[in-house]
Structure 1
């Protein structure tokens, strides 16, 4: 039976594990063995992993694969992808090879602006608040100079601060809405430090603003925090070719494929049920590279899905059209990324992944990751509109099913050969394993 524990965080890792396995597992020794199996034999490296988060008991590994042959703005890349889902890396690689022979991917960073807000309550006259904000704005920026000095030397810093009236939604609620340029850093700590300084100055200086009544001087700071919604930190990636160049097999002409592909994208633009799955496929590619490069995939996910809903209805992140017999397929997606700070300078595999990508700047990484998302979506839609998604996906999933049944190398080889010309389903694989084993 589960029980509470006091002072758990103060226990050694060994003692934490002892308590967990003895409290929650019927076979404590087996559970303990599994946890220790994933410890790194390099003690310094294991200590580094232990110190990333709190109450660490072991490491949780994901496969790190690579997708080669990505031609982006004339430069070849092999893209690292950390993901557990079958067929994602294969699909990205296939799409990369397809477009390598058709001019590759073209990308542009539209903007890199990031956002932070000071949320506060003010019970007074809005005109006087506006006067106060206009008078104090230069000091807000000046008081943050000790924080922004180094960033400004590199060309970044505070872009602007606005006063926003949100009283229609919540009585007395206003914001200091600030925009920032953080260059190669994701910038969360930098932005939050600036915001907290803004809040301190804004609250303190109100005490001496002579147009405020005593009540108006009591500005209540609710919180100061960056926003992970960055619709202006935007990158575009695209591919294009003549419709005849899309022809790959005799079953469908390039033009017919292009028309069907555009229809599939149009459906995702207007149908939220389809758009969610459509965009999830895009995020298979994006998240895998975000994770491999030590960035925050939860922040990226939250932002991207908010962006997909920005017009009041959830819609596709990608778009396609045929114009003068030219097929065009593109994505515009917000990506707030960093290539310095955080895990990028600590995790050995993240360092390796960034070196594999030619040590990109944050802008370059935005472009690479947008391409990974576009490639993934192209591969998925090509399957959906031609052979169907399950044919390729289930063949990639075959090995997972075989591993579940602890198939031997000989069994894997025999069954893989069998399913080269047969449809893969879970039940069909189970039946094949049972038939093979009954014969032996």
Structure 2
């Protein structure tokens, strides 16, 4: 590429039409990237470049996230190995450890409310919103036919339109009439299906009411798709009544203080999002729905609940909306996601959802136990120390030894790792 063609502005005409290697060159020239960075962007991955280029816009590279396997998981009487994609140390180990400690008492039991999703249609400029609401409700059968005609394949699989709700929402801009169409999306997450139905239905709602429709989009607060998981940990398995009671106190703190609840629930999502990502599902949709659900009472609270059983053991439960699927989107076309789903052996979206909820509960157990006993840093920083050793340039057996030294020194940082590596090599 000649000097006069090197872009010096982010307004790069026709960037999306370039081949991937040409995009890399444009970006590298603009940012002044070193050759090692250019080569890194061009490296192959376990997803074909042509496929990646068609999944998103202006693709230049892929970024690999490690995938680990959580062991010891027993969900609804079935043993499963759970793939988890995450960059954070200790997350996979935490799930496996929690599952091991409740394995003998039966593992995790789950239930689910269904596989329904909601799409919303916003109606504005209505002088008589109460009347408009009734006009829409009176068309229920017609609405059902319109929605089902949008996706006959879904209907053939046993899904399709299930219910109709019309809400009046007061806002500073005036009262709005919000129509909810409730659709059973079966083994799909369902965003495309319900969005298409909302788009098709909106002009009819405007015509029936004389109003103006604006937004036509699904809701990620999937409260028709709530999953629950529970498990019991015996006092003997977790280290006695003192540990049990400390964990109950930790839970009560999270459930009654939003500052603590935010981090408490983030830990839960460490596990949940890792499985969602590994299976090619939408982490942002799941996370937004979970946090909205945590605030459904008007106060942001814990997604889990913990109590002492009549026998004196520790019982935990989780309840949250989880909209994930086995078909459609990246789930269908990403080869690694397909392989990881094969490891899970989930036959339905419901199976996958139940496993994910169990992982979230397991993750919460381990985080609370660590916080209530030795503190979160001990186990987490032991794994983090290895990352620091890598960053300092350690290879092979040096990694473990450098990590051991900086842990012993209680100086778990990159500078200490560099010093420890230099000392090790000096010996």
Please indicate, yes or no, whether the TM-score normalized by the shorter chain is above 0.5.
Answer: yes
Q: In the aligned structure 1, how far is the partner of 2:33 from the partner of 2:166?
A: 58
C-alpha displacement of 1:173: 1.7
State whether residues 406 and 416 of structure 2, in contact with CA within 8 Å, keep that contact through their aligned partners in structure 1: no
**Does 52-61 or 132-141 show the bigger shift?**
132-141
Change (3 A) 1:111 1:5: same
State whether residues 101 and 233 of structure 2, in contact with CA within 8 Å, keep that contact through their aligned partners in structure 1: no
**Does 174-183 or 236-245 show the bigger shift?**
236-245
1:383 maps to 370
Q: In the aligned structure 2, how far is the partner of 1:129 from the partner of 1:341?
A: 35
1:34 aligns with 2:22: no
- Alignment counterpart, residue 131 of structure 2, candidates 125, 128, 131: 128
Q: Give the SS at the match of 2:314.
A: strand
Correspondence list, 1:166-185, <5 A: 166-167=169-170, 169-185=172-188
2:385 maps to 398
1:4 maps to 11
1:234 aligns with 2:226: yes
- Alignment counterpart, residue 322 of structure 2, candidates 314, 324, 335: 335
Change (3 A) 1:329 1:3: closer
**Does 340-349 or 132-141 show the bigger shift?**
132-141
- Alignment counterpart, residue 282 of structure 2, candidates 296, 304, 308: 296
1:433 aligns with 2:421: yes
C-alpha displacement of 1:418: 4.0
1:59 maps to 62
State whether residues 195 and 216 of structure 2, in contact with CA within 8 Å, keep that contact through their aligned partners in structure 1: yes
C-alpha displacement of 1:327: 1.8
Change (3 A) 1:108 1:7: same
Change (3 A) 1:401 1:126: closer
State whether residues 36 and 58 of structure 1, in contact with CA within 8 Å, keep that contact through their aligned partners in structure 2: yes
Q: In the aligned structure 2, how far is the partner of 1:415 from the partner of 1:30?
A: 26
Q: In the aligned structure 1, how far is the partner of 2:254 from the partner of 2:46?
A: 47
Per-residue CA shift, 1:370-422, capped at 9, x if unaligned? 11111111111111111111111111011110111111324324334546766
Change (3 A) 1:275 1:24: same
Change (3 A) 1:352 1:119: same
Change (3 A) 1:350 1:263: same
- Alignment counterpart, residue 217 of structure 2, candidates 225, 228, 232: 225
Correspondence list, 1:264-283, <5 A: 264-283=250-269
1:250 maps to none
Q: In the aligned structure 1, how far is the partner of 2:177 from the partner of 2:56?
A: 35
Change (3 A) 1:302 1:90: same
State whether residues 143 and 201 of structure 1, in contact with CA within 8 Å, keep that contact through their aligned partners in structure 2: no
State whether residues 102 and 237 of structure 2, in contact with CA within 8 Å, keep that contact through their aligned partners in structure 1: no
Give me the TM-score of the superposition, normalised by structure 1.
0.89
Correspondence list, 1:183-194, <5 A: 183-194=186-197
Residue ranges of structure 1 left out of the alignment (5+ in a row) = 207-216, 248-253
Q: In the aligned structure 2, how far is the partner of 1:41 from the partner of 1:255?
A: 47
1:212 maps to none
Paired residue total: 418
1:311 maps to 297
State whether residues 229 and 318 of structure 2, in contact with CA within 8 Å, keep that contact through their aligned partners in structure 1: yes
1:17 aligns with 2:5: no
C-alpha displacement of 1:293: 0.5
Change (3 A) 1:135 1:270: closer
Q: Give the SS at the match of 1:117.
A: strand
- Alignment counterpart, residue 365 of structure 1, candidates 346, 352, 358: 352
C-alpha displacement of 1:40: 4.0
Residue ranges of structure 2 left out of the alignment (5+ in a row) = 1-7
Q: In the aligned structure 2, how far is the partner of 1:429 from the partner of 1:40?
A: 30
State whether residues 118 and 223 of structure 1, in contact with CA within 8 Å, keep that contact through their aligned partners in structure 2: yes
State whether residues 262 and 320 of structure 1, in contact with CA within 8 Å, keep that contact through their aligned partners in structure 2: yes
2:85 maps to 82
C-alpha displacement of 1:2: 4.3
1:213 maps to none
Q: Give the SS at the match of 1:289.
A: helix
Q: Give the SS at the match of 1:351.
A: helix
Structure with larger Rg: 1
1:109 aligns with 2:112: yes
Large movers: runs of 4+ above 6 Å? none
Root mean square deviation, CA, Å = 2.1
Change (3 A) 1:46 1:246: same
